[in-house]
Chain A
Amino acid sequence: MSFFQSLTERDRVFDFMTPQASKVDVRHGPILYMEDVTVSFDGFKAINNLNLTIDDGELRCIIGPNGAGKTTMMDIITGKTRPNSGSVWFGSRHNLLNMNEPDIASLGIGRKFQKPTVFEALSVFENLELAMAADKRILPTLTARMTGEIKDRIDEVLETIGLTTLRHQPAGILSHGQKQWLEIGMLLMQRPRLLLVDEPVAGMTEQEMERTAELLTGLAGKQSVVVVEHDMGFVRSIARQVTVLHQGSVLSEGTMDQVSSDPKVVEVYLGADDEEAA
């Protein structure tokens, strides 16, 4: 249908005025596709011929010892680090290597950093408001008004992350776990297609970990979620698919049981982790 025809359609809002939903093409299955990616820092290969595919709606856990390249991998996906070679595609339309950080973020890739960084001087509600997908240029931001629709969306996310009663408290007073949830909430406000979550349960209590597991498994399906985590108990409780990274490439991939019985994995990671846990 041509543009002019769409103008004459009076029964609905003009297409070009409605906020564009993410135009990511996932008809072929994967939402994230990394092939032969290599990054080296001064000769050290942080990522070495990495191949990784994440399906739309999948919840994937990525484990691996320190220095396996987990954080670097996230940096590549979000545009912070440029690989020396390889290709990274989001859906089958967007080549992430040609895009900058803000563009990638607005395309629908949300990242939760290891250390929670919420805006402590602002309230929980305002933190979510700023994170919302919106026109983020200067004048629209200056004249932005709080509409019922926006408020409903924020309330919905507050409900999901369980911080409804704390909505008007400054984020600075939240506990560590609550800050992590607020961060996840801030990601959800951007309606991401892919969530990258870096060590969500580090420093959490048992109850907080359970709550986080519920939250993340609840999100999968609606979004694709990639979790990088050290805590094997936590990974076991949420993961369907696990990828083990080692020295910058994929060592093993499969369900938790398959992976943990893989002798290569036992050698480089699980054995060491059990010692750590003990």
Chain B
Amino acid sequence: MSLTTQSSANFWLTRPFSERSTQIFLVVLLATLALVTLLHVAVPAGNPLHIGAYTVNLFGKYLSYALLAVAVDLVWGYLGILSLGHGAFFAIGGYAMGMYLMRQIGDRGTYGDPVLPDFMVFLSWDSLPWFWHGFDMAWFAFAMVLLAPGLLALVFGFLAFRSRVTGVYLSIITQALTFALMLAFFRNEMGFGGNNGLTDFREILGFDLRTDATRLGLFLATGIALALGFILCRAIVTSKLGRVSVATRDAEARTRFLGYRVERFQLFVFVVSAMLAGLAGALYVPQVGIINPSEFSPIFSIEIVLWVALGGRATLYGAVIGAILVNYAKTIFTGVMPDAWLFALGGLFVFVTVFLPKGVAGLLEHLKRRRHDPTPTPDKEATA
């Protein structure tokens, strides 16, 4: 028996940490967090190795995108639900965080109203809409970061999965969902700041958002959230529920026939994924300093799927690689030649589809197998 068979001999017993790639991923992630912190804090600013606050902030943004990509990979890679509307959950998590940050401004806004955010004063509203109550309390706002996207996913998923809407039809209605929300949030009377969104944030939990220390803290918090979200997803996909998900992805009717209420499993995983996306959005907003309806745009949701496809579907760590790679490339490209970015993205996607159908993660696994196993073993043929 070759090495590959040996390792697969126990893979139904896997726990979140048991797979080698997960261990490597977590070690690399934590080491990166530590290294960035060290280079930011301990290395003096003039040194070429120093990492500035701007870069730390940028990395923090990438990590929140990575968490979003993991959430999408959970539903797409393992459950086969191609959600083209995960940007909606991300944005709602972001809005929940934005509402908290707006309330934190207090009377320091341009109009100096102690309760009403600036845009409400500007629209001459005289009291806070009902859904803004409670967001001055951090615990409430942070709970909403998870609950609001979770609830939307629950209602939407309940209706969609109960009617057995799957495949391309589901993708289309998720697009419609995020598009509808974008149009709604653009309206001033929705009470979310219209097309300007929420911005001009001052502090989070009492820490000034403009200081380097807070930015570093947010970067680390995002990194840790990514690690925990990753472990949660690993725990789900290595459980029996994860195997039921894969079974649903590959043969839904057959899984239903085995006695699993497929629509409930889909709903469960979809809601977990939406909550993770909401968390990613909440970590994203204080780092970029603004949340506006453009996060709901259908293009953004499609872009997330591209990150996952590029990194490698159904691996989780591939989603992280994809999100960071594409967004890094985007940062570079939009700096050098902004007009060419969408062409580059399209070209990248074509390249990956043609040459790396399993994404970067697939390439890594292939290289690993080649190294362990230079000659193709006749193992499979012999036993089949």
Contacts and interface: CB of A to CB of B under 8 A. Distances in A.
A52 interface: no
15 contacts: A78-B257, A102-B260, A122-B246, A122-B247, A130-B255, A130-B260, A137-B264, A138-B241, A138-B268, A141-B239, A141-B240, A168-B8, A173-B380, A173-B384, A186-B258
A105 interface: yes
Given A117-B251, A129-B12, A144-B240, 6 more contacts: A118-B251, A138-B264, A141-B241, A142-B241, A144-B241, A166-B383
Contacts of A18: none
B247 A119 contact: yes
B383 A169 contact: yes
Given A126-B243, A143-B239, A169-B380, A136 B259 contact: yes
Nearest to B314: A121
A211 to B, nearest CB: 16
A166 B258 contact: no
B20 interface: no
Interface in B248-270: 249-251, 253-261, 264-265, 268
Interface in B5-20: 5, 8-9, 11-13
A74 to B, nearest CB: 12
Contact of A125 (B12, B247, B256, B384): B12
A123 B257 contact: no
Contacts of B251: 117-119
Contacts of A213: none
Contacts of B383: 165-166, 169
Contacts of B9: 168
A201 B243 CA distance: 29
A192 B370 CA distance: 44
B244 interface: yes
A101 B250 CA distance: 20
Nearest to B12: A126
B240 A129 contact: yes
A122 B259 contact: no
Contacts of A166: 383-384
A14 B253 CA distance: 36
Contacts of A119: 246-247, 250-251, 254-255
Given A138-B264, A141-B244, A142-B240, A101 B384 contact: no
Contact of A130 (B13, B240, B380, B384): B240
Contacts of B259: 102, 105-106, 136, 190
B246 A101 contact: no
Interface residues on B, range: 20 to 34
A120 B243 contact: no
B236 interface: yes
B99 to A, nearest CB: 31
Nearest to B253: A117
Nearest to B269: A138
A274 B240 CA distance: 48
Contacts of A17: none
A219 interface: no
A175 B381 CA distance: 11
B254 A175 contact: no
B261 A136 contact: yes
Counting chain A residues whose Cβ lies within 8 A of the other chain, the interface size class is 35 or more
Most A C-beta atoms less than 10 A away, residue of B13, B243, B251: B243
Given A102-B259, A105-B258, A123-B8, A175 B384 contact: yes
Interface in B164-211: none
A142 B239 contact: yes
B236 A101 contact: no
Interface string A93-129: 0000000011001100001010001111111011001
Interface in A229-267: none
Given A138-B268, A142-B236, A105 B257 contact: yes
B247 A102 contact: no
Contacts of B256: 101-102
A105 B251 CA distance: 17
Interface string A128-148: 011100001110011110100
A174 interface: yes
Contact of B258 (A131, A138, A146): A131
Contacts of A175: 384
Contacts of A165: 383
A75 to B, nearest CB: 12
A130 B243 contact: yes
Most chain A Cβ neighbours within 10 Å, of B236, B247, B253, B264:
B247
A7 B247 CA distance: 39
A166 B246 CA distance: 20
A119 B80 CA distance: 13
B5 A146 contact: no
A102 B262 CA distance: 10
A113 B253 CA distance: 11
Interface string A23-58: 000000000000000000000000000000000000
Contacts of B11: 123, 168
A122 B12 CA distance: 9
A138 B250 CA distance: 19
A138 B240 contact: no
Interface in B211-252: 236, 239-241, 243-244, 246-247, 249-251
